[in-house]
Amino acid sequence: MQRKKQIDGLKSNKFDVVIIGGGATGAGIALDAATRGLKVALVEREDFSSETSSRSTKLIHGGVRYLEAAFKHLDKAQFSFVYEALHERGIMINQAPYLSSVLPIIIPVYSEFEKLYFFSGLKVYEWMAGKRRLLPTTLLNRSEVIKYFPLLKEKNLKGGVSYCDGIFDDARMNLIVVLTAINRGAVISNYVEAKELVKKNGKIVGVRVEDVFSKEEWVIETDVVVSATGPFTDSILKMDDPDYDSMVEPSLGTHLVLEPLYTPPHMGLLIPKTEDGRLLFVLPWQEHVILGTTDVETKTEFHPKVPDNDVDYLLEHMGQYYKKIPLKTEITSKWAGIRPLAKEGVFGSTASISREHVIRITPSGLIVIAGGKWTSYRKMAEDVVDEIIKVFSINPKSKCITKDIKLIGAERYKFEIIEELQNTYKIDKSIAKHLIQTYGDLAFEVAKIAKDGYNEKIVDGYPYIEAEIVWAIKNEMSQTLIDLLSRRMRLAFLNQNKAQEAIDHVCDLVSKIPEYESPMSMDILKMEAMSRFKYDV
């Protein structure tokens, strides 16, 4: 999937809809609109999921804490969006099962009351998912919890409650939604920045954009512009009218990555109590463990840094439950992401879909969506496209079909094809498993590239191979070393030191790929990647 072809498409067409923002929400809107037959374009000023959408807790979930709040306050709206998110959880897992899996999560309990309280609430959580429920919620005795989590403190431990949510690769999912939308007719490019909303008689008729690399500017003509820019919602809103009030309240979530001794390979732990009422998760992810997340007020910025206080907070609270507290030197990677919490009642005539996400339409016709979470990305997209059709009197060729759509890589996917891949291409089982769980049924195409001489590992200790770099350049619009090592492959999110080690190898490789046109000098790309991976992802 060559970026140049997409750029040419953006220059030569008029569109029904132009979306600003290539994270989960923007990608979902592009897919929904394209599958309904609309002529749709999307521009992203950096790489797809370069901000919030690659920095999640990796859970596909209904929202356990929202359900607890719904019970405590008898809040029907809270019940409604937990119900909706639980159903979306099942849809999302089904869309790309190779990128997601069901994850049992244990809550340790320290009194009989806690055991009854959590079990009852989580049984409701399970029941609310209906036909899309996962594994049953169960009670565990003390010895069972200790068997799964031997590093857990045993004093006063009465047992645990096990429930299920999903876990996934967020950046890869975002990319696959983008590529599926392109396959359905959308025109999409990363590294194209929206600079101005073009208006005629007070109504938006286009977007002036700039290629971030070449600095070339042009206007994309369109009937509708959607802002799906997450934490940066206010900047696009003020591009429409500088006098608009802020629409989002940014909140910072920090995650730490640890070696895999703190959870079993396929089971997570929920820490239910902190002094400020947050929930913390200890989750297995790609042979490592994620500890997160914090929830603190912040300012909106690109590539937010991890606050030292947040690192201390996470390790301190983990230490309240674990016998062994990880040292800071044991943290292999860390990142912070900004969650764009939507404010209510910002300005007039609009559609407010739920307390989780909010849609606003400005007098000039800009559609803005804010809030929400990864699990509900598909429903958020459906709501936006429904609003476009209603407000702008656009006639789609079909109804929304994204509840049943399979994303690229999922059409012929089943876990058992690992053996077929391994036997056909004579590759190591761990690499075959990695390829299947990253590319689905397209793993065979990546393996063909490996067979042609690109089978060397990128770095010791991880299953990433050279063929993935070639594939990402040719088919996934990867432009920079950070794109490759952070989001096409998740190495930097797992181990920042190893990502730094891989830079020279990857540089040598990409310089030999004919299809790769470096957007800047290789020295600058290397310097940028080294600087990023040295501190936070």
The model's pLDDT over 176-209, given as tens digits with 9 standing for 90+, comes to: 999 999 999 999 999 999 999 999 999 999 999 9
pLDDT tier for residue 232 given thresholds of 50, 70 and 90: very high
Whether 281 shows a pLDDT value over 80: the answer reads yes
pLDDT tier for residue 351 given thresholds of 50, 70 and 90: very low
Alpha helix ranges (H) inside 335-455: 377-392, 417-425, 429-439, 443-451
Distance CA 421, CA 425 (A): 6
CB-neighbour burial class of residue 519 (10 A; exposed 0-12, middle 13-18, buried 19+): middle
Whether 319 shows a pLDDT value over 60: the answer reads yes
Can you give the pLDDT at residue 74? 77
Distance CA 148, CA 160 (A): 11
**Mean pLDDT, rounded, of the chain:** 93
Can you give the pLDDT at residue 349? 32
Can you give the pLDDT at residue 130? 92
pLDDT tens readout for residues 57-76: 999 999 888 887 777 777 77
Whether 159 shows a pLDDT value over 80: the answer reads yes
Whether 275 shows a pLDDT value over 80: the answer reads no
Mean pLDDT of the 444-471 span: 97
Show the tokens assigned to 395: 């006639």
b/e map 320-351, b = 16+ CB within 10 Å? ebbeeebeeeebbbbbbbbbbbbbeebbeebe
Q: Does residue 358 contact residue 344 with C-beta atoms inside 8 Å? A: yes
Who has greater pLDDT, 181 or 2? 181
Who has greater pLDDT, 79 or 447? 447
CB-neighbour burial class of residue 306 (10 A; exposed 0-12, middle 13-18, buried 19+): buried
Mean pLDDT of the 262-289 span: 91
Show the tokens assigned to 416: 């058992």
Whether 13 shows a pLDDT value over 70: the answer reads yes
pLDDT tens readout for residues 111-155: 999 999 999 999 999 999 999 999 999 999 999 999 999 999 999
Can you give the pLDDT at residue 344? 62
Distance CA 32, CA 382 (A): 6
Q: Does residue 202 contact residue 51 with C-beta atoms inside 8 Å? A: no
Alpha helix ranges (H) inside 292-442: 308-319, 377-392, 417-425, 429-439
Q: Does residue 452 contact residue 466 with C-beta atoms inside 8 Å? A: no
Distance CA 242, CA 224 (A): 20
Can you give the pLDDT at residue 515? 85
Can you give the pLDDT at residue 169? 98
Q: Considering only CA atoms, which of 463, 466, 430, 460 is closest in space to residue 448?
A: 466
Residues 6 or more apart whose Cβ sits within 8 Å of residue 112: 158
Q: Considering only CA atoms, which of 166, 168, 104, 115 is closest in space to residue 137?
A: 104
Can you give the pLDDT at residue 345? 54
The helix/strand/coil state of 137 is: coil
Q: Give the rounded distance of the alpha carbon of 255 from its chain centre.
A: 14
pLDDT tier for residue 350 given thresholds of 50, 70 and 90: very low
Can you give the pLDDT at residue 1? 56
Parallel, antiparallel, or unpaired: how do β-strands 288-292 and 296-297 relate?
unpaired
E-strand ranges in 306-415 read: 333-342, 357-361, 366-371
Which amino acid is residue 388, in one-letter code?
Answer: I
Instruction: Specify the DSSP element, H or E, that contains 268.
Output: strand 268-271
Phi, psi dihedrals of residue 200, rounded to the nearest 5°: -135, 125
The single residue listed with the structure tokens 């910072």 is 252
In this prediction the pTM is: 0.96
Can you give the pLDDT at residue 347? 39
Q: Does residue 503 contact residue 522 with C-beta atoms inside 8 Å? A: no
Residues 6 or more apart whose Cβ sits within 8 Å of residue 521: none
pLDDT tens readout for residues 47-58: 999 999 999 999
Q: Does residue 192 contact residue 18 with C-beta atoms inside 8 Å? A: no
Distance CA 298, CA 313 (A): 16
